[in-house]
Structures are given as C-alpha cells and as structure tokens.
A and B are shown apart, each in its own frame.
Chain A
Amino acid sequence: MKRKFKNITFFIAALFFVIFVRVFYLQIVKGERYERLAYNQRIRKVILRAPRGKIYDEEGRIIADTKTAYNLAVLTQEVDTTFLFQYLPKILKIDINNLREKIREEKNYPYPILIKRNLSKEEVIKLEENLIFKQGIRIELDPKRYYPFKNVASQAIGYLNEISKQELKNDTFYNLGDLIGRQGIESYYEKLLRGKAGRALIEVDARGREIQPFSEAKEIPPIAGADIYLSLNMEMNIFCESLLKNYSSGLVLGIEPKTGRVIIFHGKPNFDPNIFFSLDYNEWQKLIKDKKKPFFPRIVSGLYPPGSTFKPFVALWALNKGIINKNSYFFPCYGRYPIGNRIFKCWSIHGRLNLIDALAYSCNIYFYQLGIKIGLKEILKLMKNLDWEKKTEIDLLEETNSKMPRYQTAPLGRVANLAIGQGELLLTPIKLGQLYCALFNEGFLPRPHLLDSIKNVKSFHKDFIDSLINKNILQMVINSKGETVYQYLPKAVKLPFSKETLEIIKEGLFFVVEKGTGISARLPNLKIYGKTGTAQNPFGLDHAWFCGYAEDPDKSLLLVILLENVGSGGAYAAPLAKEIFARYFSKNVAER
C-alpha cells in the first residue's frame, strides 16, 4: 500500500509538472510578448483565398487564368464606420448604402469582409495615402479570374460571382466573399476548380498596422484548385465569333462525332466574363435582366423546331423499316400539295424526285407524303428511338430537355408538318448536333462533352472525382510523365439503324452540298456532307439551320449552325459552314 501511495503521488506530480512547464512557458517565457499582444497589439485572422484551377483549351491555350487583384476589405468589429462612410466615397466609386447594409449584417464576422473588388492602381495608392493606417481597413491581394478570350465561347466557360448567403450556409467549404462558378464549365466543375482557402494570423499594432505573421500559429497555406483541359479549340471559336459578327443572334457548334468532343461552342448574344469582378450585386442584377439575354446559352438551352434538318431521320426510319428504298418515288412536286382541305406548299417546284434528290433539294412535298405514309405512330417511335427527350448529358448544367409532341393521334396535316420538322417537336442545338453525330458515327449516338482531362487533383477534390468516376464520366490514367490524370470517358449508345441505310442517307447529305440546297457550303477539295434547314419563326424572319460534316484522315467535324431571324439555311448558314470547314481542314485543303 505504501508503494502504491508513493507511485500515485509521483504520478500526480508528473501530470502537474507538465502543466507547470506549459504555464511557465506561457507566463514567464512568453509572458512579456503575450502581455503586449493582449493590450497594445492584437492578432488579426485573415483568410488566404485560394486560386482556382486553370482552364485550358485542347491546344493548351489558357481560357481561364488566375491573376491577382487588390481588394478592399474591412474588419467590421474594428473599423470606425463614421470615418469610413465619410471618406471612402471621396476616394472610390462605391455605393454607401449598400456598404452600410453589408457592414451591419456582418458585424460579427471574424474575418475581414470584402467591400470592393479589383481596385485600380490609382485607387490603391489613394487608399494607402488616406485610409490604410486607420484601424480595421485592409487591402488584400487575392486571386482573381482572367479570361483572355473574353466573349468567345463564354457561355461554355461561364463566369464567377460572389457566393450568396444561402450557399454559404449550405456548404461550409466557402468563406464570405468567395467567388463561385455560375455557368458553364465554371459551374459544372466548381467542386474541382475551387481551391481550398488557407488561414493566417497576423499581428497588428494599436493603430491597426499589420506588423508580422503571428509566429506561434502555423499559417495554413491556400491550395489551388485542379486544372481542367477542355476539348474546345479557341482558335476555331475566335474564327466563328468573327463569322457571326454581322448577326445579332446565332450559334456555331462543332463536335467530333466519334468521341463527342465539343470543339466549337460559340453562341451570340453573349457576355464577357471578365466584367464581373468589378460589379457589385445590384449592378449584376441589372445585367441579368438585360432583354437580349446575354447569359442564355442557346446551344444547350434554346429550343427550336429542327425544320428540314429533321428530314434525314424520317428517311432513315422509313428505310430501316423497309417502307421505302433509295429509289422510291412519290407524287411529283408541283410546289403545292393538298392534304385534307388545306394546300401544303414546297419552297420550289422539284418535279419527280427519288429519296437522294429529295434530300438534296429538301423537297417538302416528298416528305409530306413520306410522313403520311409512315404515320404519326412511327414518327413518334423514331423520336423515342433517337432519345429525343433525353438530355445529351453534356457537362453543362444549363442543358434543357428537347420536346416531343404530346398527342397520339393527329390530323394528317400535322403529321405531314412533323415530317419536315415543324410543329410540336423542339430541340436544343446540342441535341441536333448529337443526332447528326450518330449519322457519321455508324449509328452510335455519342455523349457530347467539353471536358478532356483534369490535372493537379488535390485530396479535397476526391469526393467529387469519385462521384464522376462512379457515373462513368471519368477514368484515372497515369500519363507518360508519371502524373495522375483523370480523363473523360467517352460514351456512345447504338441507335437501331443499319449500316446500309446510313450510307444511303450520307449519300443524300453529300448531294445536298454537292448540288442541292447546301451548295454554298461546297469546297472543291473536301468532301462535305450537310443539310440545310429553315425553322419557322412566328415572330419574324425564319431561323437558318445548317448541319454539316467533313473529315480527313486526322480529324472530323460535325457542325451545327443556327442564325436567328435571317431567312433560309441554304442562303445564310451554309456559307458560314464552308468558311469553318475550310479553316478547320486548312492544311489538307491547301495541299490537295
């Protein structure tokens, strides 16, 4: 018992000694410094915002870069607000009422809050002269986004703006004042692009000047987000932007049919993602309400009747079902054709045509009759088989579902109209592009995508990466340099069309450009397939469609062009396709 008593006493003494050493260290060794810290100085804790991952195009050009910006921040608990409200408007353009509101709302926030982003050099100098030594005001050097290509393909890339209160509540990963992806790639891959903020403690003197880092606490450095490589070719996108210069609204979409890689994604009207850094919430609301809808990504969200671009699919279905063959004829086209008690028109007088020529000249009367022959049920079946209402699953959250007719029976006139792509069938340009890809990909419907690969993945991205792997979107590979890279995993669904019938349709589409409605897309040295379309627009001039395809031994490209409110596809959209194909296959075109 004596021994136990001795041991337990020793044990107690040992534990107390540990505390003794610690308190000795705090009060005697560090005492003087801590006393000073406690009363004359203070420690300020600041957020070290992390740079986002970069976005590159297929040739390694930087689409979204990280630069540094000077931001003005205040510590709501320290700042002298009367002074601030009085002097700040003299130096900066700033909405004082907004600022007052913001400071009141966040009066207990422990970190500096951003009140003005992206200060100019002059503003920084003025601030340093006048304000910086006032308590609780801080100029922070934060990463900012820079998009060198400005408006080009901006709807695919998206933009950033400040995170909302609600989002902050839902995801504790963020801090007040963080920027978050709002559209396009920036939003879809937000959880990969975002970096992890660090923390630092800084000693501040009685006048609010920051002296040095607080050495007793290790700084937690920020970690950059993962880098994303896209399939986009920005050079081609710039070219397409210049082609659309004279049109107020339109789009060009380019896809590689075998893989589903999206090469071109340029829509108009659009926006410059760079402007958001200097905007505050109210200015930003104004932009959103702009009547031209610059943020509306028509390639994935716009719904249009396909017009004549739908014809090849009707023909394909009829061929597959054995209802017609390559040389089937219908009642010849005299420009007018009665159905029920109405007269339906063709855009020209074509006379007697076989299927190939009917496609080449886009004869409506041929397709009215074909549509009536196969019937509504089969047309609806065709659309079901094309996965019409399913999304293409492109990596953009903005994608909307295309729409099918909701009725099961209809008068013949309606059926005839459906067969030429008018009526209650509406689709997104991306869906149309996907369907055309299947024609040139042996009937395989590819999943279009903008993402090629992801590099520099950090541990905090793991959950999101895993979720993409589980959805069969990504695969992990080790590249030749030994880096871990996550690559997009292409996916394609086989449509029930035979190879022979696809060849017939391709022949028809070849003659569209060779001698038919799409002749203005013709290039002497390149075999181009295509189909024009004119989508009826009850509000004005028609929308011009052109879907085209060309390939050479190295590459292939499926184009979808839509110009709104201009007129026919053959006259307006096809010439653009020629320019784009000539540019894209320029090397080979020149050689031949």
Chain B
Amino acid sequence: MLPKGKGLLIIAIILISIGFWVIYLAGGKNFLFRQVLFFLLGIGLLIMVSRINPKIIFDLSFYWYLLSVISLILVLLVSKNSAKRWINLYFFSFQPSEFAKITYVIFLAYFLANLKKFDFHIKNLFLPVLLTLIPTFLILLEPDLGSAFIFLFILAILLYFRGLSFSQIFILYSPLFSFIFGFSLFTWIIYFLFLILIAFRKNTIFYGFGVLAVNSFFGLLNPIIWQSLKDYQKQRIIAFLAPYLDPKGISWSSIQAQIAIGSGRLWGKSFSHPPLSKLDFIPNPHTDFIFTTYSEKFGFIGFIILIFLYFLFLYQIYQCATRSNDLKTQLALAGFGGIFLYHIFVNLGMVSGILPVTGLTLPFISYGGSSLIGNLITIGLILNFINQD
C-alpha cells in the first residue's frame, strides 16, 4: 500500500518500458533480455528499500557514504580498463559512482539537516564542500568528467534548499567558474564584471574584494598552468578528460548523432526502417547515445512526450519535497531530484551536440544495470521517506 508517490513509480515504469523498446531497436534481443532482468532485480530492491525504517537509513548514512568512497577507491585500484569505472562482479559490472551519488545525497541531507544554525559562513561550508570534493576527485580520476561534476551540482541544490540564496551559492562556486572561464580572457572579463555586481551586493567592501581576489587567483591559475604544459601534455590531458573527442579535430560521432536525431523530424520514422544509429558511426547506441535512436524513431513528438514525462517526474519529486515537514527528507528529495535532472540535461545536451561528450546515461531509458537499479533504488528511497511523515 503506497498512498503517496504512486505517480513517480508509474512514470518511471512508462519510461522504462519505452527504454526496453528502444534498447531492442538499438542493441538487440540480448541487451533487452538483460535489461529486463536488471529491471526485475531493481524492482525487488525498490520494494525492499521502501520498507526499511528511514531512521536506520539516515543514522547509518555516514557509513553508507564511507562505503561508497571506499568502493570508488577500489574501482581505481581494481579496474584494468583505461576508463576505470566498473568493478567486474562476474554476472555484471558494477559502477560504484551510480551508488555513490545516492549515498552522498542521503548523508549530506542528514548532515545539513542536523546543523542547528546554518548561514553563509566558512565554518558551516567547509565540511559539506570537503565531503563533496572527495567523491568528485575520485571519479575525476577514473576519468569520468560527467559523473564527477554531478556532486557539485547536487551540493548547490542542497545548499539552496537548506537556505542559502542564489548569490551566496554563486559566490561559493565562483572560484571554480573563474578557473573554467580562465580559458579565454574575453569570457573571463565578462564573467568578472558580472561577479563584481554580485560580490558587492549586500556585502561589505572588504568581503567583496576578498571574493574578487580569490577569483582573480583562480582565473590566472588556469592559463598559467595550461601554458606551462607542453603540447603533448595538453593533448594527453584533453584525451584523458574527453576520450570521445576526435583528437584530430571534427567530432565525427557527435555530428552523426545530430544527423540521426534530425532525421527523425516531426513524426519519426516507420518502424520497418533500420535505425541509422545502428550503423557503425554512433558509439554506444543503446547506452549513452540511446536518445539518437529514440528521437529517430519517435521524432519531435516523441521527444515532447519524453521531456514532458521527465518534467512531470521531477515536478512530483520537488512537490513531495515541498510538502514534507521533515528537513532531512526535504533535502534528500531535492538531492535525488538533482541526480535525475543532471543526468537528463547533460545526456540530452551531449547527444544533441550542445555539451561535450561524456559518459552519462539517460535515466530509465539507457541500457545499463547499475544505472537502472540505482534509479529504481532512488525511487524506493523517495517512496520510503515521503510515506513516513
């Protein structure tokens, strides 16, 4: 008996069913069969997770967090692939980063909720930032740029729900932005002008200059580090962080993906037609690039339906978060919503060619055991938390 959150589960199952279909189109029978098995396993875990006493989940959350950090270290040591993302468990490869996201959200929600007073001060922010950077760096080493940044994204959402304002969060993240924008002087100057406006608003002059100084430092750091590197070192870093990029220039697979999406047009293609994405030029057509097959088959109408379902899904999560009276439940739900939102946006952005190519799955649709089971466990946790109030 699940009085609240039924909608979430229903939408998830609709999306997973669509996923089955597309996986069959893009990958074939074998992948579909395995995905169905993952689904059954995931549903079992979902039911289990939704019945555990939430007190246990939260009270032990530090150990969950610790366990996932250990597994992230383990994957770096054990995995023999060039991208160290999976631990091979014989029957399937386990991707620790998928579970690290969940445990991270639970632990941080618990941690932030238990702070008596929370304002924008370094003594409050130090620990949460540290707890975020640990998994970020571990995943960055795998390397998995896309999954690494998710922790930073979730932290921002959690801090917002814990009571920080947009401008405070912006200032907290500004050294990172400054570092990234440091790649080009022009964009950095524009960013810096914008920063000046925010830094001095509602703040003392002393404080404002402090922010600007830190930002200038990080902005300079980028070109200084970058220019001290030799060409081959730069190439190695680029190749390390973005292995999909064609080292020689034009990103072929990205362009092919865009053509495949575009060819779906308004209504999509007839089902007898073999999907373009099944030809050789799109990497992982059933996992990360599954949206190419989907939009080729179902067209723009299909895309609207998909994005509407996703929106509804996220809307419900945040609605539940808002309705809850318990702070840690609110935060946990906000964080879970962040995981889904990040995955959906970055995956679609990457496949449609507005974001760089990173290995992130499309929730519920992409083939992949860790991803699907992780998503279902997340739903199990959400159902658990909202039915306890």
> What is the interface of chain A, defined by CB distance below 8 A to chain B?
1-2, 4-5, 7-9, 12-13, 15-16, 18-20, 22-24, 26-28, 30-35, 37-39, 43, 45, 110, 172, 175, 197-199, 201, 214, 216-217, 220, 460, 462-463
Contact = CB atoms under 8 A, between A and B. Distances in A.
Nearest to A77: B280
Q: Which of A23, A28, A201 has most B Cβ within 10 Å?
A: A23
Given A16-B311, A38-B260, A199 B266 contact: no
A34 B318 CA distance: 38
B367 interface: no
20 contacts: A2-B322, A5-B318, A5-B319, A7-B160, A9-B315, A16-B307, A19-B349, A19-B352, A22-B352, A26-B258, A28-B265, A31-B264, A31-B266, A32-B265, A34-B262, A39-B263, A110-B252, A172-B235, A198-B249, A199-B249
Contacts of B348: 19, 23
Contacts of A33: 262
A199 B246 CA distance: 11
B231 interface: yes
B55 interface: no
Given A34-B262, A172-B247, A27 B300 contact: yes
B258 A34 contact: yes
Q: Which of B161, B259, B330, B341 has most A Cβ within 10 Å?
A: B259
Contacts of A22: 349, 352-354
Chain B facing A: main interface SS: helix
A468 to B, nearest CB: 14
Contact of A23 (B161, B247, B303, B311): B303
Q: Which of A15, A19, A27 has most B Cβ within 10 Å?
A: A27
A26 B262 contact: yes
Contacts of A32: 265
B50 interface: no
Interface string B221-235: 000000000111001
Contact of A462 (B231, B265, B307): B231
Given A26-B258, A26-B352, A110-B252, A9 B318 contact: yes
Interface residues on B, range: 35 or more
Contacts of A30: 262
B276 interface: yes
A33 B258 CA distance: 12
Given A15-B345, A16-B307, A199-B248, A24 B262 contact: no
B309 to A, nearest CB: 11
Contact of A31 (B247, B262, B314, B315): B262
Nearest to A21: B354
A505 B388 CA distance: 107
A22 B16 CA distance: 24
Given A26-B352, A27-B266, A31-B265, A217 B250 contact: yes
Contacts of A1: 322, 330
B67 interface: no
A33 B248 CA distance: 26
B259 A19 contact: no
Contacts of B300: 23-24, 27-28, 31
Contacts of A28: 265-266, 300
Nearest to B330: A1
Given A8-B337, A19-B352, A20-B307, 10 more contacts: A5-B318, A16-B344, A27-B265, A27-B299, A31-B266, A34-B261, A110-B252, A201-B250, A201-B255, A463-B231
A7 B156 CA distance: 13
B157 interface: yes
A35 B250 contact: no
B310 interface: yes
Contacts of B230: 463
A26 B261 contact: yes
Interface string B342-372: 0011001100111000000000000000000
Contacts of B319: 5
A261 B344 CA distance: 66
A318 B283 CA distance: 77
Q: Which 5 A-B pairs have the closest CB atoms?
A: A34-B262, A31-B265, A38-B263, A26-B262, A35-B263
Contacts of B293: none
Contacts of B260: 38
A39 B275 CA distance: 10
A28 B261 CA distance: 10
B248 A197 contact: yes
B295 interface: yes
Given A19-B345, A19-B352, A27-B261, A12 B311 contact: yes
B334 interface: yes
Contacts, number: 125
A4 B352 contact: no
Contacts of A172: 235, 247-248
A462 B229 CA distance: 12
B259 A27 contact: no
Contact of A18 (B295, B303, B349): B349
Contacts of A214: 255
A103 to B, nearest CB: 17
Contacts of A7: 160
A125 to B, nearest CB: 32
A199 B252 CA distance: 11
A278 B311 CA distance: 63
Contacts of A12: 311, 314-315, 318, 341
Interface string B245-285: 00111101001001111111110000000001000000000
A23 B248 CA distance: 27
Contact of A45 (B231, B235, B252, B266): B252
A462 B227 CA distance: 12
Nearest to A38: B263
B165 to A, nearest CB: 11
Contacts of A5: 318-319, 321-322
Contact of B249 (A110, A220, A463): A220
Nearest to B338: A8
A12 to B, nearest CB: 5
Contacts of A4: 160-161, 322
B250 A199 contact: yes
Nearest to B299: A27
B205 to A, nearest CB: 29
A462 B232 CA distance: 11
A27 B161 contact: no
A8 B248 contact: no
A30 B300 CA distance: 12
B266 A15 contact: no
Contacts of B303: 20, 23, 27
A43 B341 contact: no
Contacts of B314: 12
A257 to B, nearest CB: 37
B226 to A, nearest CB: 13
Given A217-B250, A463-B230, A35 B262 contact: yes
Q: Which of A13, A20, A22, A45 has most B Cβ within 10 Å?
A: A22
A220 B258 CA distance: 19
Interface in B124-146: none
Contacts of B247: 172
Contacts of B315: 9, 12
A31 B344 CA distance: 23
Nearest to A12: B314
Contacts of B354: 18-19, 22
B387 to A, nearest CB: 19
B322 A31 contact: no
Interface in B151-165: 157, 160-161
A460 B230 CA distance: 10
Contacts of A220: 249-250
Nearest to B325: A1
B77 to A, nearest CB: 29
Q: Which of A15, A19, A35, A198 has most B Cβ within 10 Å?
A: A19
Contacts of A43: 255, 259
A27 B247 CA distance: 28
